[in-house]
Structure 1
Amino acid sequence: MNIDALEKMLAKGNDSAMLRFGLGKAYLDNKKPDDAITHLQHCVEQDPDYSAAWNLLGKAHLQLGDKASAETVWQSGLDVAVRKGDKQTEKEITVFLKKLKK
Structure 2
Amino acid sequence: MLAKGNDSAMLRFGLGKAYLDDDKPDAAITHFQHCVELDQDYSAAWNLLGKAHLKMGDKVAAETVWQSGLESALRKGDKQTEKEITVFLKKLKK
TM-score interval w.r.t. the shorter chain? over 0.9
CA distance in 1, matches of 2:34, 2:62: 16
What is the RMSD computed on CA atoms of the aligned residues?
Answer: 0.5
Identity %: 86
- Equivalent residue for 1:92? 84
- Equivalent residue for 1:81? 73
CA distance in 1, matches of 2:90, 2:40: 23
Query: How do residues 41-52 of structure 1 correspond to structure 2 at under 5 angstroms?
Result: 41-52=33-44
- Equivalent residue for 1:28? 20
Scaled by the length of structure 1, the TM-score of the pair is 0.91
Gaps of 5+ in 2: none
Question: Once superposed, which parts of structure 1, at least 4 consecutive aligned residues long, lie more than 4 Å away?
Answer: none
| Cα drift, residue 41 of structure 1 | 0.2
* Residue identity opposite 2:17 in structure 1: K
Which residue among 37, 55, 68 is the counterpart of 1:63? 55
Gaps of 5+ in 1: 1-8
Count of residues in Structure 1 that have an aligned counterpart in Structure 2: 94
Scaled by the length of structure 2, the TM-score of the pair is 0.98
CA distance in 1, matches of 2:27, 2:4: 19
